[in-house]
Structures are given as C-alpha cells and as structure tokens.
Chain A
C-alpha cells in the first residue's frame, strides 16, 4: 500500500510540471493582457507596470524565473490585486471552499446513499421509482437554476433563510450546501443503487439470508460494504469537482471562495493567479483521486491483490 502511495506521488510531479508549463504558455497566447483597461494605460505607465511584474523579459526567461520561484513555493504577486500574493489569496478562499465542499459532500452522501440503498432494497416499487426520478432531475438541473429557486422559496417568500453570505448570518450555509450537494447526491444515489443491486445478488448475501439474518443486518452489515465501492471511487473526483466547480454556487450566494478567484483571474488575465490556482487544483485532484483509490483498495481485497 505504502509503495503504491509513493509511486503515485512520484508520477504526480511530472504531471504538475506539464500542467504548469502548458498553462503558462496558453495564458500568454490569449489576446489581451493584465493591464488592458477601459481607460487606456499610457505607454510609459505600461512600461513601468511590465517592468514591475517581469513581463518585459523574454517569455522563456519569465518561464524560467516562474519555475524557480515555484520550486521555492512562491506563486508570485497577483497582477489584479496589488499588494496581495497569490499564495495569500489561495489560502484566503480555500477554507471557505473546503467548508462548502465538505457540507455539500455530506449532504450528497447522506441523501444519495439513503435513497440509493432504499431504491435497491425496494426495487421496482414506488420507493425505487420516486427517488431515482428525483435523482435524474437532480443530475439534469444545473446549480444556476436550483440555487435561485431555493433562494426564492426559502429566502424571499418564506423568509426563513438568508439569500446570500457565508458565516455572516445564521443559517446562511444551508442553501449553498444543498445547491452544491444536490447534483452529487443524485449521482451517488444512482451509483449506490447500482452497486447495491449487484451486491444483493451475490452468493454470500443469499447465504446470509439463508442463515436467517434480518433484512436490516443483511443490508447494513453485509451488502453495504461491497455495494458502496463505486460510491467511494466516485468520492475522490467528486470532492475535487466540488472544490474546483463551486464557482457558480459561490457567485449565486456571494461566497468568498476560491472558485470565484479562479474564474475572475481568467477573465482579468491575472497570469500568476491563474497559474497558482491551476497548480493548486491539479494537486488537489491528484490527491483526492489517490485517496479514493487507496480507500477502494482498503475496502476491496480483490482489488488489493490485483495491484
């Protein structure tokens, strides 16, 4: 297990370098620079700005300097926000994004597994059809539609929850977490239903039933462990997706998370911020995938033997 862990970590290093290199050159190919503004910046001022941020050096020199700084853990200063470093900005938004993703995944797991397992156990009944129909709607409904609908119902008409914010007003974390978690809950519901159906047909489940165990024990003590392996495999990419894809929810609910920084950096051609967040998200995706693979190995001895 440990060797797998370290082997995968080693493979991650060249992946990060490739991602950084491609991003570095791609953003410089995009038309428009960080200092293009509605009110034209005078040429002499632009010259000084370029010199301040090392943009007057040849691109290869800029690349070399960036990689050297990166090796020392320095993502550089933000071009958009003078006086703020990219590292500082990432760590400003990260706790909020993590918290949002954590609540969202908790909701997704709770609702998803509950409805998925129920659907599998009560196959071809209304307890199967209704949750699965809702799950399909959840997968199809984009967050930019679900968010405002929830806000209108609970924030504007019922006036029981704040319509925006994060940690400022009581209950302001509920709607964003549900909005972000809903689509993932739907995926998890379908995955857990599929996994459970397959497991419930296994011989060892039939044996358990033949031994006279209650249905509750059959499902929770025996079937659940095998039935949820697809869900666990999905959790790694899901967590990375939640953190990287929270931009829409952060915008709808006015949440100061990392997703907003990432997307706004792209619009503003904030080169260092784009690079910093891309590298950071790449590391997170690799890490979460690795963790989820390791968990699957722990849960499934067969997979462990095959590696």
Chain B
C-alpha cells in the first residue's frame, strides 16, 4: 500500500513547480493587479454606488473634471477648460476637441445633456440624483414637478461647449464633476439595450460597453476578475502607461493578504484588522496608511427621552477617550476626531473641541437629572457584526460605565438588519461612518440637515439650517467656510452625532507601483499610475 501513497505524493509534487512570480510578467507588460473588495454591482455610472465600482469606473469613463491625484483642485477631464460667471451661477465648459467614445464616436456636449437627463429620470432609480440637484430645476425635474428637461440648467451651446446654470453659487461644483454619477454615458449604446430608464440593460457587458475613459472593458467574470485594457480612443492616450488593470473582487481580507504576500497582487483593498498593528511595528515597507476623508462616529437617536437632552449627549461624548481608542483599539494610524468634518478638507479647518473630561461629563449628566448615573435607562449600542466595531463598542461601553456609572449593552446585528433598524429609528446609539463624495466640508455637514435621509438622528436646529442655507448661497469661499465653521460648532455643541476617529486608508502596495499618490478621496486615475522596478 505504501507505493500508492508514494505515487500520490509524487504526482502532487511533480505537478507543481516553482511559480514564476506573476508580478514580474505584469511589470514587463504594464499590467496592474488590484484587490478590489467586493464584486461591483454594476458598471453603469448612473446605477453604481460603491467604492469597488468607483475603482473600475474611474478607468472606464471620465467626467468633465478629474480628481487631482496629489490633492487640491480638480484637473481638466473631458473639459479642457471652463469659465465661471461672476455671480458663480453659470459654468461654460469647453470639451477636449479630440474627446471620443471608445467606439470612435465623437463625444459632444449633447452627450452630457442626455446623460444628466438620464440620471435625473426618476424611473431609472439612480441613488445619486442629488449630486446634480445644484443645477437649476434639476430637483424639480427629478421629483416630477416639471416635465420639460429643457428647463433644467444644462444646455449644449455647440458640439464642444456645454453651458450649466446653477440654482445657487456652488464653489465646489467642479469637484462634484469627478464623481461617477455625473459622468457621461453613450446614448446610442444604452438605447440599443433598452429605454433611457432601463437599469437592467446589458450595455455594461464586455463587447457592449462603450465609454470615454483611459481604459475599456475587456472581460468581466463574476466573482473572479474584471480586466480593462488601454483605450486607443482616449483623448489623452499618450499619457496612459498601463496596458491593463486586473481587478479582483476579494471579500476575505486574509485571502487578499495572502495573495499579496504570494506576489499575486500589486495593491490590496485593505489590511486585515489584526495584521495592521503588526505590520506597523515591523515597519513593513509595503504598508500604506493614507489620510482618508471619512469619520467614524456614533449616532444618537434624539427622539428618545434620555437622549433628547443635549447635556446627556455631551456627557457621553466627553466620557470617551478617543486617543486611547486609536492607540490601543483600532491601532492602525487613525486620528481622534474632534469634529464631524475631517480636518484639512479643501483647506477647511474645523475649530471645534471635544475634551476627554470624565468630571465634566459627570457634571453634565447630573445637570440633566442623572446624578452619578442614577435612574439613567440602560443604553444600547447598535452596530453591524464586525470584529473592529465590536472592539470599539466594548471600549466605549467600559468608558461610559466607569466614567458615568451607567449600564450599557451591546447589540450586534447583520448588516441589513442594522440598516433597517437605523432607517426606522429603532436604536438608541448606533455605530456609523461617513465617507465624503467630494472634497468639501459640505459633503459632511449637509447630511445632518433637517430633511436629509442620512441624518437619522431626528435632530434639527434652526440656526444650523440657516447657516447651511447661507453657506450654500454665497460665491465667497472664505465666507462660506466661516458659515460652515459656525454650523460645525453648533453640531459639536449639540452633539447629535459623537465623532470617534478620522478614517485612514490602510492597504498594501508593491514598490513597483509608481504615480500612486495618497489623496483624501483615494481616487487613483489610471493615466497617472505605472509600473517600474523599484
């Protein structure tokens, strides 16, 4: 019988040989291998909603502007230049003369008009129409209050000139244009596969897909790999050095880490929670911890009696030692958050403080009628099932129990159950995170306005509303930041949300990848990225 075992062993060993590192051949051929989190739901820029989708779409399509990879103002995309009227209401975009679709068709201003009509067509069910609500009459058209799209503030002056009329000055408007929801889609291709509002059309399949980005869709194998290759019709084709990008939908963080260590990936999506502090300690040269425009916070339900009092909410916030959490719990370079908007968002520096002061916290709780925590109802922290959230919730539970002498219970739920409970207001405190859609404080502060679906706290404040309205109607950026700063102060004084830490993007990247700059939105336009032996 022994010979059978030996035979089997021989077959196994012989069938394997020392693997030629995948990344070596990739380097020669300029093929970037990228771990991309989950499988993209859709590659239709008007339907897509997530970060993995964005990573692929940024290669396939391009808007009027693109994010500056080194931070700062957006760079020209399809628009080579633009004029802004003195009152900040009219933007005139001049398109690249050689801008083309990947099938060779000319890209004209009318394509943007039709594309924006599509995303504002309510029956399409796009989740990002509000990105264009800054256009005159756009919200009204989406809500069905007006039927004639020509009344919406977008118009093709000629083949290569697009005129956009806003309803109020919006100094960050050009930054919105690097968000995929504002990107153009190819009218003829979409109508070949259905109506303007057909979200299930097959135009996003390889072979059908037509768009205007630096790459084109080569193949898409569900749950395996998406391959994009260089688009010779791209207006800035010569700038593109990568020949292909392979995106791998890897849900399991440990699998992704092993793939990187085995030389199967250039860039990972994340670093496993438990590995990050180890890699930091080892000074792993492949580990990157970049600033990221996101805030991890706890949402309070202000419609509940005990949390309706701002002194209670402030007591809870002051009883949290944020530094201890980032140093000993999250342990991956996160920064303690003392404001909702991350500092440094387009030059905006929030002037707010949230002290860690257990004595003051106790005093505030006593003033709210809960001397030494007596009679304070049991507080429940709701979070979606994930080890990182649980650890932070445990730390905060302990801090609140020790500093305020109140009982705190942890409730973890499946992601959809958690979302559903948040949506119907069935929570007391819930874990939350917010990632900016564009680099401007407005993307944070706007979410907590009274009629916004993402507020979820039940909190409203008239002064906050007035300040936000004023900020959204001025063309003076310094004044706008001042108004937003005042709004932020009210927010931190009222504390409907309790900021915990500012996110960082932690991932691994091969030293062969060049042109990959850290930026607040983690946008990496493929035309700036290339591979070169370090």
Binding site for B on A (CB under 8 A): 30-33, 36-45, 48-49, 51-52, 77, 80-84, 89, 92-93, 110-111, 114, 118, 127, 148, 151-152, 154-156, 159-166, 168-171, 174, 251-254, 256-257, 260-261, 264, 267-269
Contact = CB atoms under 8 A, between A and B. Distances in A.
B60 to A, nearest CB: 15
Chain B: interface residue count, which band? 35 or more
A89 B39 CA distance: 13
A31 B417 contact: yes
15 contacts: A32-B417, A32-B418, A36-B416, A39-B127, A51-B123, A77-B200, A82-B47, A161-B19, A164-B258, A164-B262, A169-B264, A170-B19, A171-B19, A256-B224, A260-B251
A100 B235 CA distance: 44
Nearest to A250: B223
Contacts of A43: 453
B444 interface: no
A194 B42 CA distance: 52
Given A32-B417, A160-B13, A161-B16, 7 more contacts: A39-B454, A48-B123, A155-B258, A165-B264, A168-B225, A169-B22, A254-B255
Contact of A81 (B4, B42, B419): B42
A83 B199 contact: yes
B250 A254 contact: yes
Interface of B: 1, 4, 8, 12-13, 15-19, 22, 39, 41-42, 44, 47, 49, 122-127, 129-130, 142-143, 199-205, 221-225, 248, 250-252, 254-255, 258-259, 261-262, 264, 414-421, 423, 433, 453-454, 456
Contacts of A154: 16
Contacts of A269: 416
A54 to B, nearest CB: 13
Contacts of B202: 83
A44 B199 contact: no
A33 B1 contact: no
A58 to B, nearest CB: 20
Contact of A40 (B1, B124, B223, B456): B456
A251 to B, nearest CB: 5
A267 B41 contact: no
B278 to A, nearest CB: 15
A269 B414 CA distance: 11
B200 A83 contact: yes
B200 A82 contact: yes
A260 B39 CA distance: 11
A251 B255 CA distance: 8
Contact of A148 (B44, B126, B142, B258): B258
Given A32-B414, A32-B419, A83-B200, A254 B19 contact: no
Contacts of B4: 114
B420 A33 contact: yes
A162 B19 contact: yes
Q: What 8 A-B pairs have minimum CB-CB distances, sorted nearest first?
A: A32-B416, A40-B453, A256-B223, A256-B224, A32-B420, A36-B419, A160-B16, A163-B262
Nearest to A261: B223
Contact of B416 (A52, A89, A267): A267
A164 B1 contact: no
A44 B143 contact: yes
Nearest to A107: B8
A125 B229 CA distance: 61
Residue of A52, A82, A159 most packed against chain B (CB within 10 A): A82
Contacts of B261: 156, 163
Contact of A162 (B201, B221, B262): B262
A207 B1 CA distance: 25
Contacts of A253: 255
Contacts of B254: 148
B419 A37 contact: yes
A77 B125 CA distance: 16
A40 B448 CA distance: 13
Contacts of A163: 255, 258-259, 261-262, 264
B249 to A, nearest CB: 8
A111 to B, nearest CB: 8
Contacts of B223: 93, 256-257, 260-261
B416 A31 contact: yes
A137 B235 CA distance: 61
A151 B419 CA distance: 36
Contacts of B129: 42, 45
Residue of A32, A44, A254 most packed against chain B (CB within 10 A): A254
A253 to B, nearest CB: 7
A93 B125 contact: no
Contacts of B130: 42
A83 B204 CA distance: 8
B402 to A, nearest CB: 31
Nearest to A45: B125
Contacts of A170: 17, 19
A257 B255 CA distance: 16
A45 B258 contact: no
A82 B8 CA distance: 46
A121 to B, nearest CB: 9
Nearest to B419: A36
A155 B17 CA distance: 11
Contacts of B127: 37, 39, 41-42, 45
Contacts of B22: 169
